[in-house]
């Protein structure tokens, strides 16, 4: 059984919120957590993006899906 993975995209100053998904937890800045959480979940599921996320974040999600 594979151990769940945690993806640390970047370090934020202030509070951050873990967003759970099939590929593990992703920490996001709490100021925009709702928008980013929705975008990350849609990206993980392969759907159309609702907000722009960084290229490195998208690559980390893609890599985690492949390695999951």
Determine the structural domain holding residue 32 and report its residue range. 6-67
Looking at per-residue pLDDT, the higher value among 7 and 35 belongs to: 35
pTM: 0.33
CB 64 within 8 A of CB 23: yes
Domain-embedded: residue 12: yes
Which pLDDT tens digit goes with each residue over 29-62?
A: 555 666 777 777 777 777 665 567 777 777 777 7
Phi and psi (nearest 5°) for 43?
-65, -40
Domain-embedded: residue 1: no
Domain count, the chain: 1
Give the pLDDT score at 58.
76
- How many angstroms separate the CA atoms of 37 and 47, rounded? 14
Token couple for 42: 């849609």
Please state the length of the chain.
68
């Amino acid at each position: 059984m594979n151990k769940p993975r945690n993806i640390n995209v970047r370090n934020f100053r202030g509070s951050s919120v873990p967003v759970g998904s099939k590929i593990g937890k992703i920490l996001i800045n709490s100021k925009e957590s709702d928008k980013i959480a929705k975008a990350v979940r849609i990206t993980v599921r392969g759907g159309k993006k609702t907000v722009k996320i960084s290229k490195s974040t998208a690559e980390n999600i893609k890599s985690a899906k492949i390695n999951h």
